[in-house]
Chain A
Amino acid sequence: MLTIEHISKDLGEFILDDVSLTVEDGEYFVIIGPTGAGKTILLETIAGVYPPDSGTVVLDGRDVTFVPPRERNITMVYQDYMLFPHLTVAENIGFGLKNRKLPAEEISTKVAEVADIFGIGHLLHRYPDTLSGGEQQRAAISRAIVLEPSILLLDEPLSALDGQTRDRLRIELRRLHAKYKTTIIHITHNFEEVFSLASRVAVMHQGKMMQVGTPDEVFRHPNSEFIAEFVGVQNIFRGTCKTTEGLSEISVEGAENTHIICSSLCTGNTNVTATIRPEDIMVSCTKLESTARNSFAGTITDVADNGSMVRISVDTGLPFIAAVTRQGWQSLEAEIGDTVYLTIMAQSVHIF
């Protein structure tokens, strides 16, 4: 188990500001955040590349705050591989084993074993710069995992790869985690990686840990406006919560009228922020007869087609953004200026 308490570090350009975090054994922990959020320096502090200005790092009950990297058994993979260019793939993968003074035969057996798992067994005699990006990253991950580290740190391991390679390697990472049960801390800014890999996710911003939870918790129930915006919730409304006759409603001041949005989560008379994910909004040409509490009529003001999904901006007096599939959009047969109905389930309205 890794416990980080109140870690701060100022590197000028990047900072960590009072970060606390616990990562359980065997967890696949993903850290997500915009560029410059301090994600990499958090990983480097965990690895022991430099000492924190304050705070402690405890690994399996041992305070390792000022212990050099080589005595931590934490390995690290960077986005741009960082394979040693003057060594062959085999020498790269065996680098750590050689440092541990293992006999040569044992090194080559272990290297061959891990290389086969990653499908790079035939590349062992080659030099890194003759390999494709995907092959280089496989070699880099092999080099880190062959030491059977207590924690494997991955710093945007898939970001430099092309789409197809990225998808394949992502699946391999999941397989690897299932096989080795290594604790993994993985940095990314890709949401797909969060959903397909993370057992828990943390969101970082300006050197601070903003929210930690399961992907569902963080994406469905963002605890701040920054997270809501960052994770792609685009419908963010501020209003007052009222509970009347067992119903929870939020009144939001719109341009012309006041919207009453029902939410199953709202309690008490407080000022709240309500968020609704674009894909949780149903769009129809006629008013839907359903059990959903919220239904609003509005005019389509904009349509953005991003390939798989179509984002529709609808003005109901409040600016809503709904996301529908391409097929859904075509069957709607609507265009800009048309009136549509938005239907939202009460439990899809999240508040903080």
Chain B
Amino acid sequence: MKSDLRRNWVKILSIAVGLVLAGFIIALLLLVVTHPSPSAVVDSLMTKEIQFAIYLSLATSIISTLLCILIAVPAAYALARYNFWGKSFVSTILDMPLALPPLVAGVGLLLLFGTTPFGDFLESIGIVFVFTPLGIIIAQFFVNMPFMLRIMRSTFTDISPRYEYVACTLGCTNLQAIWRVTIPMAAHGFLAGAVITWAKGIGEFGAALMIAGATRMKTETLPISLYLNMSCGELEMAISAAIILMVISVVSLYVFEYFGGSAKF
């Protein structure tokens, strides 16, 4: 073949790969949405079971997201602003749950709360994680905390500490400077982090399955519902749960990108 400056084969081939991949994803999404009839989906959505799953998913994911914010924001601030002994080690460990299979995380949580004196103590004061919705929350928290942490860390790193220095010379305490200057400036990263953490939380399956189990109408979140209904051949119910999860993902991804999340991750 004669080479021609107008025909850049690297460009054509690499774009083609990208397009095929995008088409593959769209095909999967369309298949899920179009498989059941719309009326069957509506019927499933009306069942007690799916409504419970929606409610439980929302409740657990919102609580776990709040927990992630509460813990990850100060940790991210410390990693962005201060140097301390063992910082890079701590930083790596905090990212660990990202690489860890959720099932392994779930086993770890199960062992912690189910077999140790610490777990026994919590149980004795009425805080039970094993096979309860609390277990779902802690599983979501553990697996998704790195998302909030990473995004907040890079958001804080991008904000010059000099803004806080100036605020301090203008009469703020350290905490006031963070609250009145850094946090408002970090709003976009904060929203991007919160949305992706929440979306990941709603879809969390592996770790939650290990510690909270899959009990119908008790620890049945949307992904658990999808799994349970699929196992017993209730395809319509399963796909309804899948559609809800899909819509949440698409919307979350859009919000995440809108607030510049991918640049911060």
Q: Are B168 and A48 in touch, CB under 8 angstroms?
A: yes
B253 close to chain A: CB less than 8 A: no
B83 to chain A, nearest CB (A): 8
Closest partner residue, chain A, to B181 (CB atom): A84
Q: Are A76 and B165 in touch, CB under 8 angstroms?
A: yes
Q: Which residues of B contact A84 (CB under 8 A)?
A: 163, 167, 181, 184-185
Q: Within the assembled complex, what's the spacing in Å between the Cα atoms of A68 and B160? A: 19
A31 close to chain B: CB less than 8 A: no
Q: Within the assembled complex, what's the spacing in Å between the Cα atoms of A85 and B166? A: 13
B106 to chain A, nearest CB (A): 40
Using known A-B contacts A82-B162, A82-B163, A84-B163, determine if residue A75 contacts B184 with beta carbons closer than 8 Å: no
Q: Which residues of A contact B163 (CB under 8 A)?
A: 82, 84
A86 close to chain B: CB less than 8 A: yes
Q: Are A96 and B165 in touch, CB under 8 angstroms?
A: no
Q: Within the assembled complex, what's the spacing in Å between the Cα atoms of A72 and B165? A: 13
Q: Are A70 and B166 in touch, CB under 8 angstroms?
A: no
A150 to chain B, nearest CB (A): 12
Q: Are A49 and B171 in touch, CB under 8 angstroms?
A: no
Q: Are A86 and B185 in touch, CB under 8 angstroms?
A: yes
Closest partner residue, chain A, to B161 (CB atom): A49
B184 to chain A, nearest CB (A): 4
Q: Which residues of A contact B187 (CB under 8 A)?
A: 86
User: Number of contacting residues on B, CB 8 A?
Assistant: 17
Q: Which residues of A contact B162 (CB under 8 A)?
A: 78, 80, 82
Using known A-B contacts A69-B165, A78-B162, determine if residue A85 contacts B185 with beta carbons closer than 8 Å: yes
Q: Please encode chain B, from 140 to 172, with 1 for each CB lying within 8 Å of some chain A CB and 0 for all others.
A: 000000000000000000001011011111111
Instruction: List A residues 144-158 near B (Cβ within 8 Å).
Output: 144, 147
A174 close to chain B: CB less than 8 A: no
A99 close to chain B: CB less than 8 A: yes
Q: Are A70 and B185 in touch, CB under 8 angstroms?
A: no
Q: Are B169 and A70 in touch, CB under 8 angstroms?
A: yes
Q: Are A49 and B168 in touch, CB under 8 angstroms?
A: yes
B88 close to chain A: CB less than 8 A: no
Q: Which of B165, B171, B187 has the most CB of A within 10 A?
A: B171
Using known A-B contacts A84-B181, A85-B185, determine if residue A68 contacts B170 with beta carbons closer than 8 Å: no
Closest partner residue, chain B, to A71 (CB atom): B171
Q: Are B171 and A100 in touch, CB under 8 angstroms?
A: yes
B194 to chain A, nearest CB (A): 18
Q: Within the assembled complex, what's the spacing in Å between the Cα atoms of A74 and B168? A: 10
A47 close to chain B: CB less than 8 A: yes
Instruction: List A residues 32-73 near B (Cβ within 8 Å).
Output: 44, 47-49, 68-70, 72
Q: Which residues of B contact A80 (CB under 8 A)?
A: 160, 162
Instruction: List A residues 210-262 near B (Cβ within 8 Å).
Output: none
Task: Say which residue of A48, A68, A72, A75 sits within 8 Å of B173 (CB atoms).
Answer: A68
Closest partner residue, chain A, to B168 (CB atom): A69
Q: Are B181 and A70 in touch, CB under 8 angstroms?
A: no
Q: Which residues of B contact A69 (CB under 8 A)?
A: 165, 168-169
Q: Are B171 and A86 in touch, CB under 8 angstroms?
A: no
Q: Within the assembled complex, what's the spacing in Å between the Cα atoms of A78 and B161? A: 12
Q: Which of B167, B168, B169, B176 has the most CB of A within 10 A?
A: B169
Q: Are B169 and A47 in touch, CB under 8 angstroms?
A: yes
Closest partner residue, chain A, to B174 (CB atom): A68
B177 to chain A, nearest CB (A): 9
Q: Are A99 and B170 in touch, CB under 8 angstroms?
A: yes
Q: Are A95 and B170 in touch, CB under 8 angstroms?
A: yes
Q: Are B165 and A44 in touch, CB under 8 angstroms?
A: yes
Q: Within the assembled complex, what's the spacing in Å between the Cα atoms of A285 and B168? A: 62
Q: Within the assembled complex, what's the spacing in Å between the Cα atoms of A100 and B185? A: 22
A138 close to chain B: CB less than 8 A: no
A-B contact pairs, 18 of them (CB 8 A): A47-B169, A48-B169, A69-B165, A69-B169, A70-B169, A74-B169, A75-B169, A80-B162, A82-B160, A82-B165, A84-B184, A85-B185, A86-B185, A95-B170, A96-B170, A99-B171, A99-B176, A143-B170
Other contacts beyond A49-B165, A85-B185: 6, CB < 8 A: A48-B169, A68-B173, A72-B169, A78-B166, A99-B172, A100-B171
